[in-house]
Chain A
Amino acid sequence: DAKTTQPPSMDCAEGRAANLPCNHSTISGNEYVYWYRQIHSQGPQYIIHGLKNNETNEMASLIITEDRKSSTLILPHATLRDTAVYYCIVRGHYNSGYALNFGKGTSLLVTP
C-alpha cells in the first residue's frame, strides 16, 4: 500500500472550514484514499473515501488531485466535536485481511 504523509497537527476556528491535506505520491491506479478520525478514547470512525473523483457526504468532502498524488479532506463548518486525530489511508492490495494501516494522522484542534 502507498505511504501517506500528513501534518502532525492543525488548528481551526469553530465554524470555519477545516482543510486537512494528505500526500500519497506513490499511489497506484487501483488504490483508494480513505479518511478516518479518532476522537479521544473512542474507536476510529469512517468519514469518506474515494478513488479519483471528488466525493461528498454528510460529514465531509474529499478532493483528490488529478494526478492522485495528494488529497484534501474538508470539514465545511468545523465544530468543537470535530476535534480528533484524522487519518488518511491508502488501500489497494490484499494484505492482512484488508486491515487498514493507520499512520500517525493529523491532530485537529477546533477552537471556540
Chain B
Amino acid sequence: DQQVKQNSPSLSVQEGRISILNCDYTNSMFDYFLWYKKYPAEGPTFLISISSIKDKNEDGRFTVFLNKSAKHLSLHIVPSQPGDSAVYFCAAREYGNKLVFGAGTILRVKS
C-alpha cells in the first residue's frame, strides 16, 4: 500500500515557465515533507521541506505548498531552468526519522 504517491511519472515544461510537481499521501501521522532531486548515478539531493503545521515554505525559486485536509502537497519551481531536469521525489517523514518516498516524477525542462 503506497503511503506517498506521485501520480505523474513525467512532466515537460518550457524554460522560464512554472513547473508544478504534485504529491499525495495517506498517513496523517507524517510530520514533515521533503522534496529531493536526483540526477542519474547520483544520490538524492535535498531541495526543500515543510512541516505538517505549515501551508507554505519558500526558498528561492522553489516553493512547497501543503494542503493538509486534502493530504496533498506540491512543489513549484519558478522560473524553470534546463538544469532542473531530473527526477523529483516527494518524501514524508514518520517515526524514527524514517522517510517514505513517492515513486518520483521525471521533470524535463526544454530550452
Bind each other? no
Q: Give the A-binding residues of B (Cβ under 8 A).
A: none
